[in-house]
């Protein structure tokens, strides 16, 4: 457990050796520690002074000699609690400052004349892409239910509920599979209007979503997500979606409980 504590402090090998020696010996002059460890005195003194600043070694003076000893457990614990409070306070200040500067930051980073494209890699990156859709008013999507649930089954169970909780309606098109039919049976409880198309004729694996001024593309095979921010592109993709959804309804596998939402 002691080594775990030292690991948590990210001490160097030299700092660890010197701290353990002081812990074992009690109050010692830097020269005494250096002699027992067969290390240069100036090096040991420098390390000890650094550990004093870290709050795990305390420095005292007797006559003209400085002594070093390990800080008490209670004092180390209080020091760590103070640091935790300071970090929380700093994060709170930073969060408030970010919120107040949000519009100004966006004015610097967004250009109406040039689309912004952001790439995300890996599972965690794909989750960030989906988290962004929870800022939307409504969603339009082409998606393979099988690939979604095969890759992130637990994530989507919570995602659907959170999307519903935010009142974000989705209109979607899916290749017709048993998994897609089962998901479609939950359309009302998941605030979705969906259409199924023959999977043999219209098979696709990536998901494409259109919302607001954004289009995202998620590749399940390549574990890659892309968010494109462009009003022009988003409007074009929404038009293409409307066209494809009208065609998809011809196959008859649709939910129409909220067809006015499409």
| pTM for this predicted structure | 0.56
pLDDT in tens, 38-96: 999 999 999 999 999 988 899 998 878 899 998 888 888 888 898 899 999 999 999 99
pLDDT of amino acid 109: 62
63-83 burial code (b ≥16 CB/10 A, e <16): eeeebbbbbeeeebeeeeeee
pLDDT in tens, 167-221: 999 999 999 999 999 999 999 999 999 999 999 999 999 999 999 999 999 999 9
Are 145 and 183 contacting, i.e. CB atoms less than 8 angstroms apart?
A: yes
Polymer length of the chain: 262
pLDDT of amino acid 195: 94
Domain ranges across the chain: 2-73, 115-261
114 secondary structure, DSSP code: B
Q: CB-based burial of residue 126 (10 Å sphere; 0-12 exposed, 13-18 middle, 19+ buried)? A: buried
With cut-offs at 50, 70 and 90, classify the pLDDT of residue 261.
very low
**Right CATH number for 2-73 from 3.40.50.150, 2.60.40.420, 1.10.357.10, 1.10.10.10?**
1.10.10.10
How far apart, in whole angstroms, are the C-alpha atoms of residue 21 and residue 119?
50
For the domain made up of 115-261, the CATH class stated in words is alpha beta
pLDDT in tens, 97-132: 999 988 887 777 655 557 889 999 999 999 999 999
pLDDT of amino acid 175: 94
* Best CA proximity match to 208, nearest among 148, 124, 137: 148
Q: What is the mean pLDDT of the chain?
A: 89
Are 145 and 159 contacting, i.e. CB atoms less than 8 angstroms apart?
A: no
pLDDT of amino acid 28: 87
pLDDT in tens, 232-243: 999 999 999 999
10 secondary structure, DSSP code: T
Same fold, 2-73 and 115-261: no
């Amino acid at each position: 457990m002691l080594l775990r504590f030292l690991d948590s402090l990210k001490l160097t090998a030299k700092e660890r050796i010197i701290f353990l020696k002081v812990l074992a010996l009690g109050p010692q002059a830097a020269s005494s520690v250096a002699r027992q460890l067969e290390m240069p005195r100036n090096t040991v003194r420098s390390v000890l002074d650094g550990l004093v600043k870290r709050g795990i070694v305390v420095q005292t003076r007797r006559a003209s000699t400085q002594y070093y000893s390990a800080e008490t457990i209670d004092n180390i614990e209080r020091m760590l609690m103070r640091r935790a409070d300071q970090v929380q306070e700093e994060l709170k200040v930073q969060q408030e400052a970010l919120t107040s500067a949000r519009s100004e930051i966006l004015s610097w980073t967004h250009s109406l004349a040039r689309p912004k494209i952001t790439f995300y890699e890996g599972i965690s990156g794909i989750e960030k892409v989906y988290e962004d859709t929870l800022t939307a008013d409504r969603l339009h999507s082409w998606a393979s239910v099988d690939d979604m649930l095969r890759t992130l089954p637990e994530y989507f169970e919570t995602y659907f509920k959170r999307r519903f909780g935010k009142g974000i309606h989705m209109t979607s098109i899916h290749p017709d599979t048993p998994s897609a039919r089962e998901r479609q049976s939950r359309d009302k409880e998941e605030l979705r209007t969906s259409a199924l198309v023959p999977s043999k004729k219209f098979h696709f694996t990536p998901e494409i979503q259109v919302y607001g001024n954004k289009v995202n593309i998620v590749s399940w095979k390549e574990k890659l997500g892309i968010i494109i921010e462009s009003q022009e592109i988003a409007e074009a993709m929404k038009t293409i979606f409307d066209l494809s959804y009208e065609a998809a309804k011809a196959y008859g596998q649709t939910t129409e409980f909220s067809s006015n939402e499409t």
